[in-house]
Structure 1
Amino acid sequence: MIINGMAISVNTAQRLYWFGRYVQRAETMLRELVNAYDYIIDRDFEEGHKLYSKLGVEIEYKNALDFLKQGVYGTYGGSIEQIISWARENAIETRHLLDERGFATLNKIYNQLVERRERAVSPSNLEEIIDDCSLILGIFSTELDRTRAYQLIRFGQQIERFDLILRLYGEIEMVAADIDVINAIARQLNRNYRPINVTTSDISKFLVFLNGVVDRVIQKDTCASVSLQTQS
C-alpha cells in the first residue's frame, strides 16, 4: 500500500485498522457503562450482568460504583484500560502516520487510567474519557484532506460500530445505513473491491459480512501493490 508516497506493510495497515476499532470500542463501552450505572442505582441491579453477557463476559460487582470500577479495570479481557492499552500499542507503531493531537490525547487517556487505578471511578471520570475518545475519532474522521491512513482508521471505526450495535442491541435496522458507509470506505481503500449486499435477518450472517469485507480490503496482495489506487 502507498500512503503519502510511502509504502506500508500489511501489518501497518492492520494496526491502523485496529487502532480505529479499539478507540471506537472504548467510546461505545464507556457510554454503555454510564447508562448501565444509572440503571443499577435505582432500577435493575442486574443491568451490568445483562450488558456484559451480550459480549460473552462474566462480570461481578458489589454496587453501582464497583460496577464502574470493574468495567474500567476488571481482570477480564476487554476492560476499558485494556482496550485503551491495545489502541495505544497500535498508535505507537503507526505514530509517523497519525495526527499529533490524536496521539497525544490517547496518551493522556492511558496515563490517567494508570494514575487512577487505585482510586474510585465516577461517571464524571468516564464522561471525560468519552469526550477525549470522541475528539480522537473526530480528528481521524474529518472529511477534509483525509489520507489513506485516516481512511483505514475510519474503516476500523465503522466496522467496530457495526459489530457492537449488533452484539449489544441485536437490531439489524440500526446498522442498515452503515453497510453503505463500510462499502464506500472499502472501495476507496481498494479499487478492486466490489460492494457486498446483505439481505438477511440473521445477525450471524451480518458478522460474517464484516469479516468478508475486512479480508477483501486488508490483504497481502493489495498491500504489496505499487498502485496508488489499489489500497489495503
Structure 2
Amino acid sequence: MLGRTAQNLYWLSRYVERAENMARLLEVGYRMSLTSRREGGSSEHLISMMQAAEVDEDFAKKDRPADVDTVAHFMMFDPTNPSSVYTCLQAARTNARTVRTAITSDMWETLNSAWLEFSQIRPRDVRGAKLLELLEWVKHLSHEFRGALLGTILRDDGFAFLQAGNFVERADNTARILDMKYYVLLPRAKMVGGDLDIQQWTLILRAASAHRSYRHVYHDRYKAHNIADFLILRPEMPRSLIYCARFIESQVETLAQFYGKKQVCDDAAQQLRAMVEGTTMDTIFAHGLHEFLTEFMARNNRVSDSLSESYNFY
C-alpha cells in the first residue's frame, strides 16, 4: 500500500473518532458548568474543557467571553478551530474521498451524507437541549461509521491502519477527559472528595459511555479512585487506556506481519502498553494523575509519529 493511502486511511479514522470525542468533551464541560453554577459560575469548566482539548489558546485569540453559546460554537462549528466537529468531519470526508477505492461504499455514504446534513445546520439554532441533541447525533454518526467499517471492509493492511488511527485517537481522548478533572480542580483543591467533585467524576464516566458498565464492575457508590481505575486499568473497558494501548500494539504487530518487517512504531507501541500495564492506581495517584496522563499522551503521540515515519505518511 502506498504511504499516502495509508496516511489517508489512518487520519480518516482519527478524524471520525475525534469528532465524536470533541462532542464528548463538550458535553462534559457543558454539564459540569450546569452543576456548578451555585459555586460561582460556569465559565471555568468550559475553559478547563478547552485546556484539556488543547484549543484554549486558539479560543483566547478570538477575544470572546467563555460562555456556553460561544464555546459551543467554537467547538462545534468554527472552521479555524483545528479540532472542531466541523473541521473533523470535513477532513474525514476529504480523506475518504481521496481513498474512495480503498474503503467501502457504506463507509463513504455514511460520511458523505453526515457531512451534507451537518452543513445544513444553523449554528444559532443550537442551544440548550438542541446542543445536547446535536452532540448525540455526532456520537451516533461515529458509531454508524464504525459499524460500516467493521461490517464491510476487508481485513487487510488498510483495515489495520484504520483501526490503529481509531484507537490512537480514542486513547488520547480518554486521557484528555480524565485530565479535565485536573484543570477543573486546579484552582479549588478544597473541592477534592466533596459532593461536587464526585458529581464531576460521574459526568466524566458518563462522557466515556461507561456509566452502566462501571456499575457492573463496582457495586458500591461512585469513587474517584474506582472511576479512574475503570478508565485507565480495566482491560474489559473498551475506552480504557490499557485496552486502547493493547489494541494499538496488536494493529502495529499486524502491520509488521503483513509487510514482513518490524518498524520503529513496534517499539513505541510496546512502550505505551508497558507503561500502563506496569503501574497501579495507587502509584498513579501517589505520583500525580495529571503527570501520568501527560506522559501517556506524549507516548501515544510518539506511536502516531513513528507510524508516520515507518510507513511513509508523506
Q: TM-score normalised to the size of structure 2? A: 0.60
Aligned partner letter, 2:20: E
Q: Which has the larger radius of gyration?
A: 2
Aligned partner letter, 1:69: H
1:178 maps to which residue? Answer: 244
1:206 maps to which residue? Answer: 296
Aligned partner letter, 2:72: L
Q: Aligned in 2, Cα 1:156/1:34: closer, same or farther, shift over 3 Å?
A: same
Moved more, 65-74 or 46-55: 65-74
Kept after mapping to 1: 8 A contact 2:9/2:99: yes
Q: What's the offset of the Cα at 1:118?
A: 4.6
The within-5 A match list for 1:1-232 is: 8-44=1-37, 45-46=42-43, 47-58=45-56, 59=59, 60=64, 63-74=67-78, 75-121=80-126, 122=130, 123-142=132-151, 145-170=154-179, 172-173=232-233, 174-191=240-257, 192-193=261-262, 194=266, 196-197=270-271, 198-199=274-275, 202-219=292-309
Kept after mapping to 2: 8 A contact 1:166/1:203: yes
Size of the aligned set, in residue pairs, is 215
Moved more, 195-204 or 67-76: 195-204
Kept after mapping to 2: 8 A contact 1:189/1:217: no
> What SS does the corresponding residue of 1:128 show, helix, strand or coil?
helix
Q: Aligned in 2, Cα 1:152/1:39: closer, same or farther, shift over 3 Å?
A: same
Q: Which runs of 5+ in 1 are unaligned?
A: 1-7, 224-232
Aligned partner letter, 1:184: S
Q: Aligned in 2, Cα 1:105/1:185: closer, same or farther, shift over 3 Å?
A: same
Q: What's the offset of the Cα at 1:218?
A: 4.3
Structure ranking higher in helix proportion: 2
CA RMSD of aligned residues (A): 2.7
Q: Aligned in 2, Cα 1:152/1:70: closer, same or farther, shift over 3 Å?
A: same
Kept after mapping to 1: 8 A contact 2:103/2:153: no
Q: Aligned in 2, Cα 1:35/1:206: closer, same or farther, shift over 3 Å?
A: closer
Q: What's the offset of the Cα at 1:115?
A: 1.5
Aligned partner letter, 2:242: A
Q: What's the offset of the Cα at 1:96?
A: 0.9
1:228 maps to which residue? Answer: none
Query: 2: distance between equivalents of 1:152 and 1:18?
Result: 9
Q: Which runs of 5+ in 2 are unaligned?
A: 180-227, 234-239, 285-291
Query: 2: distance between equivalents of 1:160 and 1:53?
Result: 17
Bigger relative contact order (CA 8 A; separation at least 6):
1
Offset from partner CA, 1:103-124 (integer Å, 9 cap, x none): 1111122112222145422221
Q: What's the offset of the Cα at 1:101?
A: 1.6
Kept after mapping to 1: 8 A contact 2:111/2:145: yes
Moved more, 66-75 or 124-133: 66-75
* Identity within the alignment, %: 22
Q: What's the offset of the Cα at 1:63?
A: 4.5
Q: Aligned in 2, Cα 1:145/1:79: closer, same or farther, shift over 3 Å?
A: closer
Offset from partner CA, 1:4-53 (integer Å, 9 cap, x none): xxxx3111101100111110010111122233323333434122111011
